[in-house]
Amino acid sequence: FDRDLKWRTGVELVPVNCESCNNFKITRNALEAAYVKVQEANLRVKGLLITNPSNPLGTVLDRDTLKSMVRFINDKNIHLIGDEIYAATVFMEPEFVSISEIIEEEDVECNRDLIHIVYSLSKDMGFPGFRVGIVYSYNDSVVSCARKMSSFGLVSSQTQHLIASMLSDDEFVDNFITESKKLLFNRHKYFTWSLSQVGIGCLKGNAGLFIWMDLRKLLKEETFAAEMELWRVITNEVKLNVSPGSSFHCQEPGWFRVCFANMDDYTMKVALLRIRTFMLKNNEAMVPLKLCRPSSLKLSLSRSLSRRMDDFMSPGIMSPHSPLPQSPLVRART
């Protein structure tokens, strides 16, 4: 959100501090504490911004938490902006609940002019380059303003035609989302299992494209300076692209975000092998590696795969984040 909202506008963002002891859940006390902190800094609070499902946590906000948030913003008379861009990526229970459902509950009173939802096809349908976004607001003034501003970022006619044709095919969309959830579930399960085999714990997640990885035991000291030092080692020496928790305003040093969905199976094996090699150098964090592994995805590498890995690691090879021919959208057929 810093990049999206702060860099160009000068808007001040104040994090709502959540803690690992309760799995980073958002509580009313945490909201109140953040609100008081902003007031003490003589800043005017305009709204509460959330992402559900969460980036970077990979979790969903439960119904009670969402109700608490709606009551909070209604009491304070501030806006609630719900970023629901990962809504269709939930691959395990509990299911996703939208803010739009919460405000329909009989026990929830709210000024609907304060409720706004943003969405995009970038994540759920894998269309980041198409730049198709949605603002859904219950506030007529916000809708009017958004309509006027949209003229500076219109979606091309060709893109609109393609998207409209795709979304009109209910069978394709349903099958695509179902298959996507299945692939996310399998990848998440295997990735977190593999990390656990080398002593790395993760926050239990069920949605999105990210794993919230706990590397606190590898810090030389419990400081953000130590976190950045570890991040530089992982980036420059281990050659893995992870994001430090401090870049998401996490208040506990040692948490890192890993994107597990933007690579093919081979690239994932390379990443996990590098993680295992790195952890072998940190014996105090190691646990015995179990012999049983899912047969479909093994960490053991054949000779031919080893040769391919040497080629993969050589300079000049494209980034693992570059578009791959294995992309589900490339394979998709209506």
Read off the DSSP letter of residue 9.
Answer: T
The pLDDT tens digits of the residues spanning 39-58 come to 998 989 999 999 999 999 99
Averaged pLDDT of the chain: 85
Say if residue 306's pLDDT is above 60. Answer: no
Higher local confidence (pLDDT), 145 or 4: 145
253-264: burial string, b at 16+ Cβ within 10 Å, e else = bbbbbbbbbebe
Of 150, 168, 186, the last residue of a domain is 168
1 and 150: one domain? yes
The pLDDT tens digits of the residues spanning 57-109 come to 999 999 999 999 999 999 999 999 999 999 999 999 999 999 999 999 989 99
The pLDDT tens digits of the residues spanning 151-206 come to 888 899 999 999 999 999 999 999 999 999 999 999 999 999 999 999 999 999 99
In a domain, 301, yes or no: no
Higher local confidence (pLDDT), 333 or 105: 105
188 and 275: one domain? yes
In a domain, 120, yes or no: yes
21 and 59: one domain? yes
10 and 151: one domain? yes
Of 119, 153, 168, the last residue of a domain is 168
What confidence score (pLDDT) does residue 313 get? 36
State the pLDDT confidence band at 311, using cuts at 50, 70 and 90: very low
What confidence score (pLDDT) does residue 7 get? 83
159 and 57: one domain? yes
Sign of CA dihedral 121, 126, 128, 130: negative
| Pair 126, 328: CB distance under 8 Å | yes
71 and 151: one domain? yes
What confidence score (pLDDT) does residue 210 get? 96
State the pLDDT confidence band at 317, using cuts at 50, 70 and 90: very low
The pLDDT tens digits of the residues spanning 229-255 come to 999 999 999 999 999 999 999 999 999
What confidence score (pLDDT) does residue 296 get? 35
Of 243, 263, 286, the last residue of a domain is 286
| Pair 76, 34: CB distance under 8 Å | no
| CATH at 234 | 3.90.1150.10
What confidence score (pLDDT) does residue 325 get? 38
What confidence score (pLDDT) does residue 283 get? 64
Higher local confidence (pLDDT), 309 or 244: 244
In a domain, 294, yes or no: no
State the pLDDT confidence band at 2, using cuts at 50, 70 and 90: confident
Say if residue 329's pLDDT is above 60. Answer: no
In a domain, 215, yes or no: yes
What confidence score (pLDDT) does residue 94 get? 94
26 and 67: one domain? yes
84 and 143: one domain? yes
In a domain, 58, yes or no: yes
Q: Which domain holds residue 237?
A: 172-286
What confidence score (pLDDT) does residue 11 get? 87
What confidence score (pLDDT) does residue 292 get? 36
In a domain, 297, yes or no: no
103 and 193: one domain? no
For the chain, the maximum distance between any two Cα atoms, rounded to a whole number of angstroms, is: 64
In a domain, 295, yes or no: no
133 and 181: one domain? no
Looking at the 3D structure of the chain, how many domains does it have?
2
In a domain, 323, yes or no: no
The pLDDT tens digits of the residues spanning 10-40 come to 888 899 999 999 999 999 999 999 999 999 9
| CATH at 112 | 3.40.640.10
| Pair 104, 130: CB distance under 8 Å | no
What CA dihedral angle connects 30, 35, 41 and 46, to 10 degrees? Answer: 130
| Pair 82, 117: CB distance under 8 Å | yes
Region 251-271: what's the mean pLDDT?
Answer: 94
23 and 100: one domain? yes
196 and 130: one domain? no
